[in-house]
Structure 1
Amino acid sequence: MPNRLEVIGTATVPWLPPSHDFRPGLAALAERAEKNGFSGLLVFYDHMVLDPWTVAGVLLQHTSTLVPLVAVQPYALPPFTAAKTISSLVSLYRRRVDLNVVTGAAPEELDQIGDPLDHDGRYARAAEYVSLLRQLLGADEPVTWNGDHYRYRNLRINTRLPEHLMPRIFVPGSSEASRSLVDRIGHVTLTHPEPVDRFAENFAAARNASGLEMGIRVGLIARRTAEEAWAAALENHQVDRAARLRTLLKRESESDWNRRLARLASEAEVHDDVYWTGLYSTGRTGAPLLVGSYDQVAEYLERYIALGVTKLLVTKVDTEDEFHHARTVLTRLDK
């Protein structure tokens, strides 16, 4: 795996009843990811999945180097609690815990909890949240904070971390608000990329000018031949009328990247012979997939890397077979 590219997988947690025992599957996934050279696993947040911090603890318990990338939603977790949780995990496992700062693109979830903020307001809150969280994790003295969303007075919580164990901040999104947020408080700007030429024009040029690291999130379906890869991709794949309607509606989404991907999916399922929007159209993932032979997928990834991408977040890779195929692609990079 090339040194210039950090690869992070996804901790898949299906929507199953709470009585289901997820722990063995999560432990096995974490062990596979570490064995195959992945540096970490992204842990999602939404109302229907397991608590991401509890999942992160399982990942840490069953690995020795893997770093969880935990989705943090400001409305769901006060900065005080986030600081205590991060500091506790780092103290117990002596490993960094990275943060993927999300602001909420699902209108139904925002409505359910009565969040009054609009799109830009949620990004402003997130900026204050991360700034305060950094102070809580970096200060020995009591913290006083008088902001628009949070207020503390002489707060003592003993959560200071050494610099090398401070979390890296990933900021997903492609809107102006997300770009402003990552410029203020982020280390890595993250997106579900468009096909590589559009990505170069619409995202990479602005991000390279900022000097921040860039990450992309895609799925990989690669096999020895393109025919085998497409057979695997299209197995049980069907875009019905309801899925097409949902995709059309997403073209008006508040989320910039949802709008972009929905427009791409409406134009065509396949772009550049490799870039596939099929699973996005059926709602099985929010990211595009790269489909083709090992060499085709590796060559397409190289084009993203040449534009400055240093973080690759991989979705739909969880079984031994899929890790094998992904690693086969990744070892072809730089050759």
Structure 2
Amino acid sequence: MSPTVYSTCPQSKDVPARDYLDAVAATARWSEEAGCAGMLVYTDNGIADPWLVAQAAIAATERLAPLVAVQPVYMHPYTAASMVSSLAYLHGRAVHLNLLAGGFKNDLVALGDHTAHDDRYARTVEYTRILTALLRGETVTHHGRWHHVENLRLAPSLPPELMPELLISGSSPAGRAAAGEIGATPIRYPEPLGAETAEVPTGGGVRVGIIARDDADQAWRVAHERFPPDRAGQVAHAMAMRVSDSHWHHQLAARAGAPTPQADLDAEPEPYWLGPFENYRTFCPYLVGSHDRVAAEIARHLERGTEVFVLDIPPDPDDLGHAGEVFARATAAVQV
């Protein structure tokens, strides 16, 4: 069985306003042509609204499902449900949801939210139960810790076949528990699959970038050209670490600089790379190397039951093509 693969949409802060709509449409088309099930659309205090970006992605494609990041602090669960059902009504298309419990701490504080880490996951569970009940067509009465609704119904209704897939961060115990409570796929930021990491969680999904080419040296040249060392980025990374209570952020930071186990696959370097994360260019590890070497690493994730892969923002369609080649080889290896 093939895994579900999502790409990621460019962020408005990284693209001039006059070019952003075209960038969203282009990335969505590349993703659809590469066979991705959907495209993650970020949300935070400093970028364009993800629901409006999602509509632009839908308009540019035929089947791609935007994976919209949903932060309970930003909108009522009825509003989020209405966005899903309204886009389905207007376009006959599904929208998937990436449920957030946290985000940048300063963003939350700016909005007056000082909720503790594990309580944020409890809030997301309550929020999601209301949202999904509305999408199922139920009349919802709920008096909870964070939300109170009385005989609430959603219109327009959502066709059952367009019910969204749910993803949620699963790097922390609270995140994994929340995933189980709401039936969401827990997404984690993986560590290297070496001997000392034999206890990493199985199943669920991972957030990882891929730079693969026929030749490992070529792949690493591309990687270092795309993500060169950046002193300003390293300073920003250190500052973010000081205020973050994110489990995944601290897990990756602890991993940075540590020796990575070398797999016994000829002399090609271990593909796991945290260079972009350490330079504050992105928030996920990368796998870099030849198609076969990176495919071997992806195959090990598949063997552990990983079902969903969320890739980083692609700079061009060729990058997604190379990732597709990796997944094809990995899937074939696991099925042998």
Hey, what's the Cα distance between the residues in 1 that align with 2:222 and 2:135? 45
Instruction: Identify the range of structure 1 (296-305 vs 271-280) with the bigger mean alpha-carbon deviation.
Output: 271-280
Shift of 1:259: 1.0
Instruction: Identify the range of structure 1 (72-81 vs 232-241) with the bigger mean alpha-carbon deviation.
Output: 232-241
Shift of 1:239: 4.8
Secondary structure in structure 1 of the residue aligned to 2:201: helix
Secondary structure in structure 2 of the residue aligned to 1:153: strand
Contact 1:71 1:101 in 2 (8 A): yes
The alignment status of 1:164 with 2:161, answered yes or no, reads: yes
Instruction: Identify the range of structure 1 (125-134 vs 241-250) with the bigger mean alpha-carbon deviation.
Output: 241-250
1:244/1:199 CA distance change after superposition, 3 Å: farther
Shift of 1:302: 0.5
Q: TM-score, normalised by structure 2?
A: 0.89
Alignment deviations for residues 32-86 of structure 1 (CA, whole Å, 9 cap, x no partner): 1111111110111111111110111111111111111110000001111111111
Q: CA RMSD in A?
A: 2.3
The alignment status of 1:230 with 2:195, answered yes or no, reads: no
In the TM superposition, 1:175-324 aligns within 5 A as: 175-197=172-194, 200-204=198-202, 208=203, 214-235=204-225, 237-240=228-231, 243=234, 246-247=237-238, 250=241, 253-268=244-259, 273-324=270-321
Hey, what's the Cα distance between the residues in 2 that align with 1:46 and 1:249? 15
Give identity over the alignment, percent.
Answer: 36
Hey, what's the Cα distance between the residues in 2 that align with 1:52 and 1:87? 15
Secondary structure in structure 1 of the residue aligned to 2:199: helix
What is the letter of the counterpart of residue 79 of structure 2?
T
1:82/1:252 CA distance change after superposition, 3 Å: closer
Hey, what's the Cα distance between the residues in 2 that align with 1:72 and 1:303? 30
Secondary structure in structure 2 of the residue aligned to 1:158: coil
Contact 2:192 2:260 in 1 (8 A): no
Aligned to 1:211: none
Shift of 1:256: 1.0
Shift of 1:332: 1.7
Shift of 1:263: 0.7
Alignment deviations for residues 108-132 of structure 1 (CA, whole Å, 9 cap, x no partner): 1111111031111111110000000
Hey, what's the Cα distance between the residues in 2 that align with 1:62 and 1:254? 37
Secondary structure in structure 1 of the residue aligned to 2:101: coil
Contact 2:170 2:179 in 1 (8 A): no
Alignment deviations for residues 4-29 of structure 1 (CA, whole Å, 9 cap, x no partner): 21111001124158843411111111
Contact 2:166 2:185 in 1 (8 A): yes
In the TM superposition, 1:31-110 aligns within 5 A as: 31-110=29-108
Hey, what's the Cα distance between the residues in 1 that align with 2:200 and 2:239? 21
Contact 1:43 1:69 in 2 (8 A): yes
Alignment deviations for residues 261-316 of structure 1 (CA, whole Å, 9 cap, x no partner): 00111325897511000000001111000000111111111011110011111113
Give unpaired runs (5+ residues) of structure 1: 209-213
Aligned length: 324
Q: TM-score, normalised by structure 1?
A: 0.90
Contact 2:10 2:23 in 1 (8 A): no
Shift of 1:199: 5.5
Q: 2:148 aligns with which of 114, 128, 151?
A: 151
Shift of 1:247: 4.5
Hey, what's the Cα distance between the residues in 2 that align with 1:88 and 1:262? 40
Hey, what's the Cα distance between the residues in 1 that align with 2:311 and 2:286? 9
What is the letter of the counterpart of residue 311 of structure 2?
V
What is the letter of the counterpart of residue 267 of structure 1?
A
Secondary structure in structure 2 of the residue aligned to 1:182: helix
Hey, what's the Cα distance between the residues in 2 that align with 1:97 and 1:245? 33
Aligned to 2:266: none
Secondary structure in structure 2 of the residue aligned to 1:331: helix
